[in-house]
Structure 1
C-alpha cells in the first residue's frame, strides 16, 4: 500500500508524502526515487526489513516507531548539505517537545536526540553528486515513539521511547506531520538567516555543552571541554593543547 499526497492540516506546503506498509529501508527507497523527484518528498514506512544507521550499523524499529526519510534537491555543496543534520536535529527537538517536556530533551553531536539521557532518535544523511552541488540529499529519521528495540545491550546511550518516558502516545503518521512542519520551518530559517541561526538554535539544546566529553574518531580518543560547534558543524573541544575541531566521531560522556 502506498499513498502520495501533500497531506492535510499543518502538512507543509510544497512537500510530498509517500507512506508504505513495508520497505527494506526508507533511505534505500529514497535513493530509488531520486531520479523522478519533482519536489521535496517524505517517505515513511510502517516497517523496515533492513533499516540502517550511521557507519552501516543496523537500525531496528519495532512497530509504532517512526521510519522516515526526506529526499530533496538542495542547491548546496556537499559540505552545505552535510550541515543540514543540524536542521534535522532542531526539527526533531521541536517535534518531540510537542509530546514530552522539552527539559527532558537534548541534542547529542553529531546527530542524535536524547530523552532523559537515553537515545530516542537518530539521523542519517546520504547524498549523491559529482558536480559543484549535490544531485540529491536524503535525511533519514528514526524515532522510538512507542517501543525500544530488543537486544540492545551495553550501549553508552541506551534506547528509550517517547511513550516509556511519559510522553504522549502518538501515531507515526501524526508525528511525521509534526516533524515535516518543523523541518520546513528550519529550511525557512536557513534561507533567511543562514547557518549561524541554525547553529545557535542547536547549541541552545546541546547535551553537555561546557562540560568534559570524549570524541572517539576511530583513530584516537580526544577528551576536552565541549566549547561549541563551528561554522562547518565541527565539534570544538578545548583540550590541554588548545582548541581541537573534530569533523566526525562518536561522542561519550
Structure 2
C-alpha cells in the first residue's frame, strides 16, 4: 500500500528513549503551538489506566498526541473513541484481515487478546481543557508480563499475524488516520464516531462485567451512549456506567 502523507498541521517529535510518552507530552505541552505527536523508540516507565504499569518490550509502539481541545473536558474526552478507531483503521490497513475489535473504553483487541491500550490525561482550568494527551501503546513484537486475574491475555501483532511492523511506520499511518477521525469529530460531533466504534465493538449484545473501585455490575452490553458511557441491561434495569474496567 502507499505510504500515508503526514497530516498537515500536526507536529512530531521523535525520541530515542523516554520514561513515559504521556509524561513527556505533559512536560512539553505548554511549548507546543499545535497538535503534536511525541514518539519514543523505547518507553521505560509507561502507564496504563488507574496508575498501572504498562510494560514495553523493545520493538513495541509508544506515542502520545498532545491536543488543545476547544470543548469542555467531558466532551473532549470522547476523543478516546476517535483514537481507538484511528488505531483500528491504521492496523486494518497495515494488516488486512487481522481480527481486530474495540473494547470499551479504550483497548484494541486482536484475536480476542489485548493488543493495545489508550490512556487520556490532561489539564484544565475554568471548565476548559488546557491540554489533552492521548497516549497509545501497541504490542507490535512483544507482550508484557501477565496482568491481573481475569484480565484478557496480552498478544502481539507479530505473534498473532506474523506481520512485523516498525513503530515508525505505524506512527505515520496512525497520525493520518487520527487526523481524519479528528476532522470528523470536529465537523460532525460524536455521533458518527460512536456509530463507527459500535460497529467494531467487542462483545456487543453479550454479557460483560464492569468493575469499579466500589463494586461490579454484570449485564448485557447494550450500547455506548452519547456521553461515552457503557450501557448495560441488568436484572435491575438499564445502567449507564461512566468509568470502569470491563471483564469478559
TM-score (structure 2 length as normaliser):
0.95
> What residue is the counterpart of 2:123 in the other structure?
128
Distance, in Å, in 2 between the alignment partners of 1:9 and 1:102 is 19
> What residue is the counterpart of 1:140 in the other structure?
135
> What residue is the counterpart of 2:190 in the other structure?
195
Distance, in Å, in 1 between the alignment partners of 2:164 and 2:227 is 37
1:88-147 per-position Cα deviation (integer Å, ceiling 9, x unaligned): 110011111123345611100001011001100000000101223200000000000111
Q: 3-state DSSP class of the match of 2:125?
A: coil
Distance, in Å, in 1 between the alignment partners of 2:70 and 2:127 is 9
CA contact (8 A) 2:41 2:61 kept: yes
Give the drift of 1:153. 6.8
> What residue is the counterpart of 1:205 in the other structure?
200
Is it true that 1:31 corresponds to 2:29 in the alignment? no
CA contact (8 A) 2:65 2:134 kept: yes
Is it true that 1:69 corresponds to 2:64 in the alignment? yes
> What residue is the counterpart of 2:55 in the other structure?
60
Q: How does 1:69-88 map to 2 (within 5 A)?
A: 69-88=64-83
Give the drift of 1:151. 5.2
Aligned-CA RMSD value: 1.4
> What residue is the counterpart of 1:240 in the other structure?
235
Change (3 A) 1:216 1:33: same
> What residue is the counterpart of 2:85 in the other structure?
90
Distance, in Å, in 2 between the alignment partners of 1:202 and 1:150 is 28
Pairs aligned (count): 246
> What residue is the counterpart of 1:41 in the other structure?
36
Segments of 5+ residues of structure 2 without an aligned counterpart are none
> What residue is the counterpart of 1:4 in the other structure?
none
Is it true that 1:163 corresponds to 2:170 in the alignment? no
Moved over 4 A (4+): 151-155
Is it true that 1:251 corresponds to 2:214 in the alignment? no
Q: 3-state DSSP class of the match of 1:226?
A: strand
1:157-209 per-position Cα deviation (integer Å, ceiling 9, x unaligned): 11100011114211100100100111001011112221000000000000000
TM-score (structure 1 length as normaliser):
0.93
Segments of 5+ residues of structure 1 without an aligned counterpart are 1-7
Distance, in Å, in 2 between the alignment partners of 1:48 and 1:24 is 5
